[in-house]
Amino acid sequence: MANETLLTNVDGLIEDISAESIFVFNQHAGILACVDDHDTSDQQGLTLDFPKWGALTSANVQALTEGTDNSTNVQITVADTAAAATEHGLMAFISDMSMRGTTPRNMVVESTGKLFADATLAKLEDDIVNLFADFNSGNDIAGAATSMTEAHWFQALEFLKTDKADVNNLCAVLSPKQVWGAKGLRPLVVGLKVDAGNLGEEMKALGFTHNVFGIDVLVSNEINEDVGSGGDAAGGIFDKRAIGLHMKDMFGIEIERNASLRGFELVMTSLWNEVELHDTFGCYFLSDVA
């Protein structure tokens, strides 16, 4: 029967679409480099405990005397933050008529895989950037109706260093307007007077802002650029240890025939959860972009 042929063709797409989705996701998921991410697909259970070790300081290190026992014990503490992976999914419908069309199989795989991966990455980014406002309020920089300045970046470095974050391993995740807008990083870079000559041309070619003040910069479309209807964007600067991401069984794909609709439902599910681990290792960077 004709539909049996169609079903065979669609069934054969499942593994290919899943593989394409994973490939595209890994190629573009730059935000994963900014968080403490763990994939537990090969393990039982939905919950991952992220350990938070108590800090030791210089005061814990004792001067020793030869031939004398060191009787001072250091108490090492650990507190767990649980991240229970939850389901996220989307569904696409592939009609019989589209399967009888002239679209090559590889284009179906590539397009569907990219759409699934892009949508999943956008949702994962959205979940992560929504944690920025929960960073320690004492580390907030700039603020509503406040334009970004060079001083705000150094203030973030000061706050994070004081709180013992690794200032040599920081990420800034900002909105497009916070990076390229008239009140974002663009005027700061131009203000440094590097917009002429070979160095300036090279910076323009690189988009100005891949790394600013030693901080790697990523751009996310999921950041709200109109917080409270005030025209402010809600970015963040943080140590990788500030946020934990638990991923499990990403891009599981199933297919089911819907006879009355004359087509196939293609359902993709992914499991993940994001949690704040160290709220003092991040700065909420709210700035005016209107």
pLDDT given for residue 202 in this prediction: 61
* Joined tokens for residue 141: 């920089």
Place of tokens 């569907």: 112
Q: Characterise 84 by phi-psi region: left (phi > 0), alpha (psi -120 to 50), beta (else).
A: beta
- Least confident span in 47-51, 102-106, 123-127, 162-166: 102-106
Q: How confident is the model at residue 167 (pLDDT cuts 50, 70, 90)?
A: very high
Q: Please state which architecture CATH assigns to domain 2-53+75-129+246-273.
A: 2-Layer Sandwich (3.30)
Dihedral angle of Cα 114, 115, 117, 122, to the nearest 10 degrees: 130
* Cβ–Cβ < 8 Å for 179, 285: no
Q: How confident is the model at residue 127 (pLDDT cuts 50, 70, 90)?
A: very high
Helix (H, G, I), strand (E, B) or coil at 215: strand
Q: What percentage of the chain has pLDDT greater than the value 70?
A: 85
Domain ranges of the chain: 2-53+75-129+246-273, 135-242+280-288
What pLDDT, in 10s, does the model give residues 8-37?
Answer: 555 566 777 778 788 777 777 788 889 999
pLDDT given for residue 95 in this prediction: 80
Q: How confident is the model at residue 78 (pLDDT cuts 50, 70, 90)?
A: confident
**What number is the average pLDDT over the span 243-269?**
88
More confident residue, 266 or 209: 266
- Least confident span in 57-71, 76-90, 94-108: 94-108
What pLDDT, in 10s, does the model give residues 225-237?
Answer: 999 999 999 999 9
pLDDT given for residue 220 in this prediction: 93
Give whole-number Cα distances, 60 to 51, 79, 225, 266, 278, in Å.
Answer: 21, 20, 45, 58, 22
What pLDDT, in 10s, does the model give residues 36-51?
Answer: 999 999 999 999 999 9
More confident residue, 209 or 168: 168
CA–CA gap between residue 109 and residue 29 (Å, rounded): 20
* Joined tokens for residue 58: 């210089």
* Joined tokens for residue 173: 């995740």
Q: For all residues of the chain together, what is the average pLDDT?
A: 85
Q: pTM for the whole thing?
A: 0.83
**What number is the average pLDDT over the span 80-96?**
90
**What number is the average pLDDT over the span 123-145?**
96
Residue type, 32: L
**Lateral strand order in the sheet of 263-276:** 36-39, 243-258, 263-276, 86-95
Residue 103 has pLDDT above 90, yes or no: no
**What number is the average pLDDT over the span 160-185?**
93
Q: What percentage of the chain has pLDDT greater than the value 90?
A: 49
